[in-house]
Amino acid sequence: MTQFDVLTIGNAIVDIISRCEDRFLEENAIVKGAMNLIDAERATKLYDMMGPAVEASGGSAGNTAAGIASFGGKAAYFGKVAEDQLGTIFAHDIRAQGVHYKTMAKGTEPPTARCMIFVTDDSERSMNTYLGACVEFGPEDVEPEVVAEAKVTYFEGYLWDPPRAKQAIVECARIAHEHGREMSMTLSDSFCVHRYRAEFLDLMRSGTVDIVFANRQEALALYETEDFELALDQIAKDCKLAAVTMSEDGAMIVKGSERIHVPATAIAELVDTTGAGDLFASGFLYGYTQGRSLEDCGKLGCLAAGLVIQQIGPRPLASLKDAAAEAGLA
């Protein structure tokens, strides 16, 4: 028996979500639909210009951990916050979701990371992230017994930005594989892929990473092609298993020569795409660690993604376990 189904590792971030017009993005040089890394000065400036906002604990891998717990899975999380108000909020929120979280907070400087998310009328989200305390995450924050006791350890590609986090991730992969566990990553966004394409490919081809999550744009960026089928063929060669999301077209699960298309979940209204990929990963990994078929894993992923895009914020407001039961996927 393992203590955890999934351990997720990521940037511990508090999301600040507000609606805006496209003109606001243009006037403030914000790349639409991307994650823009910013410094403390720009973080303060953008925050001051935001309209009414919703504040919620977020961060890609943290959202995935919360989703797994909502399905009824056993989740753990590694991520660094500061000893400040946002750090306290983050720790409370993720533990309240039922996620194991014991990473030690570190001082008050730099402060806890925050992400200003601007949601336009088309429900696209443009993220502006000040990493703050996230960059302090390092090998000393690895809990070896947690890695050893997690069926899958999953990290976000965004975490490849802070240098010491890379060392921590490689150490986690060593421990996981030493104990017969698996390592997984999400490519996070196409800009992240452009920054670390060679390194991401090396992680996959060396066997450091077993399972890869990507969306269509990230997969195309990874292989520097406009041919999606070619990208799917290549990712199948480079890792043990991959799940590639395609927005309203659902997802493709690829394993060797196997291809499984899973349709998107029908929704009543698209509200906010924040967290869609994170929640897809939560459903897929929950199913995977419960021994479900790859098709069911994809369906659970699409269900979770479909639910989260009908609400504001990246963490599920309703029980995913109940939603799965209602959809006949329990």
pLDDT in tens, 277-313: 999 999 999 999 999 999 999 999 999 999 999 997 7
Residue closest to 129 by CA, chosen among 31, 24, 196: 31
* Residue 274 reports pLDDT greater than 90: no
**pLDDT computed for residue 282 by the predictor:** 98
pLDDT-above-90 percentage for the chain: 78
Dihedral Cα 84, 82, 11, 55, nearest 10 deg: 0
State pLDDT tens for residues 93-112. Answer: 999 999 999 999 988 888 99
User: Which DSSP string corresponds to 135-150?
Assistant: GG--GGG--HHHHHTE
Kindly report the average pLDDT of the chain as a whole number: 94
* Residue 165 reports pLDDT greater than 70: yes
Overall average pLDDT of the 29-57 stretch = 89
* Residue 2 reports pLDDT greater than 80: no
Radius of gyration of the chain (CA): 18
Do β-strands 258-262 and 251-255 pair in parallel, antiparallel, or remain unpaired? antiparallel
Q: Tokens 């959202």 identify what position?
A: 63
State pLDDT tens for residues 135-156. Answer: 899 999 999 999 999 999 999 9
| CATH number of the domain enclosing 313 | 3.40.1190.20
What confidence tier does 1 reach under pLDDT thresholds 50, 70, 90? low
User: What is the domain count for the chain?
Assistant: 1
Q: HSE-up of 308 (CA within 13 Å, CB side)?
A: 29
Q: Which residues pair with 36 in a beta bridge?
A: 128
Sign of torsion, CA 249 23 191 231?
A: positive
**pLDDT computed for residue 103 by the predictor:** 95
What confidence tier does 168 reach under pLDDT thresholds 50, 70, 90? very high
State pLDDT tens for residues 228-267. Answer: 999 999 999 999 999 999 999 999 999 999 999 999 999 9
**pLDDT computed for residue 67 by the predictor:** 97
Overall average pLDDT of the 22-26 stretch = 95
What confidence tier does 161 reach under pLDDT thresholds 50, 70, 90? confident
168 CB burial (10 A radius; 0-12, 13-18, 19+): buried
Tell me which of 8 and 123 has the higher pLDDT: 8
Residues in contact with 300: Cβ distance below 8 Å, sequence separation at least 6, in sequence order: 71, 283, 284, 286, 287, 292, 324, 329
Q: Tokens 């298993």 identify what position?
A: 241
Task: Determine the angle formed by the axes of helices 228-238 and 190-205, rounding to 10 degrees.
Answer: 40
Phi, psi of 14 (to 5 degrees): -95, 125
**pLDDT computed for residue 235 by the predictor:** 98
**pLDDT computed for residue 7 by the predictor:** 98
Which stretches of 120-271 are DSSP H helices?
144-148, 163-178, 190-205, 216-222, 228-238
328 CB burial (10 A radius; 0-12, 13-18, 19+): exposed
State pLDDT tens for residues 185-228. Answer: 999 988 899 999 999 999 999 999 999 999 999 999 999 999 99
**pLDDT computed for residue 246 by the predictor:** 96
**pLDDT computed for residue 11 by the predictor:** 92
The domain of 236 spans 4-327
Q: Which residues pair with 13 in a beta bridge?
A: 58, 113
